[in-house]
């Protein structure tokens, strides 16, 4: 019996008490079931009696006694105790707890998935680095966390579209084009331009693709370097992210908003809603009506639209494509952007608390030998995604970046994350999976198989370490659901480390395979199912983080 199944049992017990007139309360939609800190208090605990006491008009312990009586009669429950002010401590029948292993193995890749967020259509925008240089370490963190979050949301039933918005219009692209031109002509980098070896590499590729480009008049030449340079740079960004295991459903070009008249339509809608005015030759959105600290320009006095106007058009484009919520992941340096974006959402007639979610992430610092790592081979002072992967590998990089809450600054120790030892968290988790894979291979060599799910006697699993492992496996669906709802992939990583430790302790205490001439027993089979179930959860959890689960290490 998994915690989710126990929640349903508790709800059924409440409904039964209501039906027979023992309680006069509405049956709760959700019931909290948690593992008690002290295992002696049972397998699970619930505070449902405390929650129902007020609507029932009765003391919590009295309500708890009514529900305890109902629960004790349910199959799979060995004991129910009333504790403290009215908590219910539930001990499952041994076979009921052991069935968690069977359910995990039979569900396979689907184990842990729920329909908690079913019906939600989400647009998840992350990375969105300008195509003026390779993906740097900040964008790499969003690549790892954003991809993991997309997988988490889907595991909880949401429909997710991963989107990359690239600013291929405006001043920064002009600076990029001028930097490429300067490199191609052998001139110094413009004062406001982009530096780094990659500029020379891209410039050479442009000239190779268009041999006559350096003979063109200035404006035409800059346009060719702009168009071809952005195309080449963005192709490299896509390639680098794909090698990191991150791909997007939609790559959205800012230029299309200008070319299709989307900006004018967005401003017209805002004007119709009564929130646009003219002042000092410019067009403004009255964002202060919606809590912003000052109004924001949509069109500058020279007639050029602002980035904020493009943001308005882009948000409306997403909503017109049918997304219920727009989720945007930004670096901490964009914290001041949140208020104005919420204001524009309100100005178009949406609810910022319902239709918008902005996640802010802190910086990543790389450390080696106790000293900051600052230099990149290709980008000067900027550390790139490829630099991190070269230093520690893809799996370690993804795991390390997703392991910490996004609102925490990370000091990522390259020495630690490159080690093949148990003090490296990703190695520790992957090794647990490889260890189980070895056990299952050895079992197969001995002619031992899991067999029919209905034939395994999971009641054989009575050891304390076995029960610890079963309860940990049963927590996995709740961990995924909670991590998705809180937008917190790091909770999955921390759970996997705890699970790996629980498995290692089980393995050290409980012999799985027979030795020498010993015969296999029903306990052998039950423990093989337990091992296989742990492997399923490790694979599924690592899969959510975009990390491999190796069978050999």
Cα dihedral 297/350/325/173 (nearest 10): -10
What's the mean pLDDT in 394-409? 94
The CATH code of the domain that includes 428 is 1.10.730.10
What's the mean pLDDT in 59-69? 90
- The domain of 44 spans 3-93
What's the mean pLDDT in 71-90? 89
pLDDT of residue 380: 59
Residue identified by tokens 């990029």 is 176
In a domain, 439, yes or no: yes
Lowest mean pLDDT among 75-84, 365-374, 488-497: 365-374
pLDDT at 523 over 60: yes
pLDDT of residue 379: 55
pLDDT of residue 430: 97
- pLDDT per residue as tens digits for the range 421-445: 999 999 999 999 999 999 999 999 9
Specify the 3-state DSSP secondary structure of 244. coil
pLDDT of residue 42: 84
- pLDDT per residue as tens digits for the range 242-288: 999 999 999 999 999 999 999 999 999 999 999 999 999 999 999 99
In a domain, 433, yes or no: yes
In a domain, 464, yes or no: yes
Q: What is the DSSP letter of 136?
A: B
533 and 431 fall within a common domain: yes
Q: Which residue has the higher pLDDT, 192 or 501?
A: 501
Q: Which residue has the higher pLDDT, 328 or 166?
A: 328
What's the mean pLDDT in 88-117? 91
C-alpha–C-alpha distance, residues 405 and 120, integer Å: 24
pLDDT at 19 over 70: yes
pLDDT of residue 7: 85
The two counts, helices (H) then strands (E), for the chain are: 21, 15
In a domain, 500, yes or no: yes
pLDDT of residue 378: 53
In a domain, 307, yes or no: no
Q: What is the DSSP letter of 190?
A: P
- pLDDT per residue as tens digits for the range 207-249: 999 999 998 988 999 999 999 999 999 999 999 999 999 999 9
pLDDT of residue 387: 87
Q: What is the percent of the chain where pLDDT is above 90?
A: 70
**Cβ pair 542, 496 in contact under 8 A:** yes
Q: List b or e across 335-358, with b for residues whose CB sees 16 or more CB atoms inside 10 angstroms.
A: eebbbbbbbbbbbbebebeebbeb
pLDDT of residue 425: 97
Residue 350 tokens read as 């949406």
pLDDT at 517 over 70: yes
In a domain, 491, yes or no: yes
Last residue of a domain, one of 244, 278, 309: 244
- CB atoms under 10 Å from CB of 523, counted, come to 18
Rounded mean pLDDT of the chain? 92
pLDDT at 495 over 60: yes
In a domain, 530, yes or no: yes
pLDDT at 459 over 60: yes
Q: List b or e across 277-290, with b for residues whose CB sees 16 or more CB atoms inside 10 angstroms.
A: eeeeeebbbbbeeb
In a domain, 54, yes or no: yes
**Please, which pLDDT band fits residue 506 given cuts at 50, 70 and 90?**
very high
Dihedral sign for Cα atoms in the order 100, 102, 107, 108: positive
**Cβ pair 23, 14 in contact under 8 A:** yes
Last residue of a domain, one of 219, 244, 269: 244
pLDDT of residue 20: 85
- pLDDT per residue as tens digits for the range 34-46: 888 777 788 889 9
Helical spans, DSSP H, in 321-411? 337-347, 352-355, 385-392, 394-402
pLDDT of residue 381: 61
Residue 372 tokens read as 């900051």
Last residue of a domain, one of 93, 108, 127: 93
C-alpha–C-alpha distance, residues 76 and 531, integer Å: 22
What's the mean pLDDT in 488-494? 97
The CATH code of the domain that includes 68 is 3.30.1360.70
Domain count across the chain: 3
pLDDT at 376 over 60: no
């Amino acid at each position: 019996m998994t915690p989710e199944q126990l929640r349903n049992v508790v709800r059924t017990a409440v409904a039964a008490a209501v039906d027979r007139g023992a309680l006069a309360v509405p049956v709760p939609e959700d019931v909290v079931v948690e593992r008690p800190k002290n295992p002696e208090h049972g397998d699970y605990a619930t505070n449902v009696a405390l929650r129902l006491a007020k609507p029932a008009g009765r003391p919590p312990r009295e309500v708890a006694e009514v529900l305890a009586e109902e629960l004790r009669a349910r199959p799979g429950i060995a004991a129910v105790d009333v504790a403290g002010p009215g908590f219910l401590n539930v001990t499952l029948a041994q076979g009921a707890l052991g069935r968690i292993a069977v359910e995990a193995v039979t569900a396979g890749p689907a184990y842990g998935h729920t329909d908690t967020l079913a019906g939600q259509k989400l647009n998840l925008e992350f990375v969105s680095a300008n195509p003026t240089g390779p993906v740097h370490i900040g964008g790499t963190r969003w690549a790892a966390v954003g991809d993991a979050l997309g997988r988490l949301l889907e595991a909880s039933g949401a429909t997710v579209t991963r989107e990359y918005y690239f600013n291929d219009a405006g001043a920064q692209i002009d600076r990029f084009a001028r930097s490429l031109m300067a490199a191609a002509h052998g001139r110094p980098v413009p004062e406001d331009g982009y530096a780094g070896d990659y500029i020379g590499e891209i410039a050479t590729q442009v000239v190779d693709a268009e041999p006559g480009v350096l003979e063109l008049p200035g404006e035409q030449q800059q346009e060719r370097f702009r168009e071809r340079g952005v195309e080449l740079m963005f192709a490299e960004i896509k390639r680098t992210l794909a090698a990191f295991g991150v791909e997007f459903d939609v790559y959205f070009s800012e230029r299309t908003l200008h070319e299709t008249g989307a900006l004018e339509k967005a401003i017209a809608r805002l004007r119709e809603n009564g929130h646009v005015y003219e002042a000092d030759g410019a067009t403004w959105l009255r964002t202060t009506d919606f809590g912003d600290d000052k109004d924001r320009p949509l069109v500058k006095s020279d007639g050029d639209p602002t980035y904020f106007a493009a943001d308005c058009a882009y948000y409306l484009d997403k909503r017109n494509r049918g997304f219920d919520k727009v989720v945007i992941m930004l670096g901490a340096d964009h914290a001041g952007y949140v208020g104005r974006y919420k204001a524009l959402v309100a100005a178009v007639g949406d609810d910022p608390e319902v239709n918008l979610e902005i996640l802010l992430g802190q910086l990543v610092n790389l450390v080696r030998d106790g000293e900051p790592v600052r230099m990149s081979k290709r980008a000067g002072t900027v550390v790139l995604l490829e630099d991190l992967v070269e230093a520690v590998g893809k799996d370690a990089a993804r795991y390390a970046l997703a392991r910490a809450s996004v609102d925490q600054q990370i000091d990522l120790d390259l020495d630690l994350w490159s080690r093949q030892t148990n003090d490296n968290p990703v190695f520790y988790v992957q090794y647990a999976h490889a260890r189980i894979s070895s056990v299952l291979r050895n079992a197969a060599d001995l002619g031992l198989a899991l067999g029919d799910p209905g034939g395994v006697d999971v009641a054989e699993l009575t050891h304390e370490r076995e029960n610890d492992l079963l309860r940990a496996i049963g927590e996995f669906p709740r961990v995924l659901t909670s991590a998705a709802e809180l937008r917190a992939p790091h909770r999955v990583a921390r759970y996997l480390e705890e699970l790996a430790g629980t498995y290692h302790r089980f393995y050290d205490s409980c012999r799985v395979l027979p030795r020498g001439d010993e015969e296999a027993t029903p306990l052998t089979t039950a423990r093989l199912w337990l091992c296989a179930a742990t492997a399923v959860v490790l694979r599924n959890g690592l899969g959510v983080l975009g990390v491999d689960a190796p069978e050999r290490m």
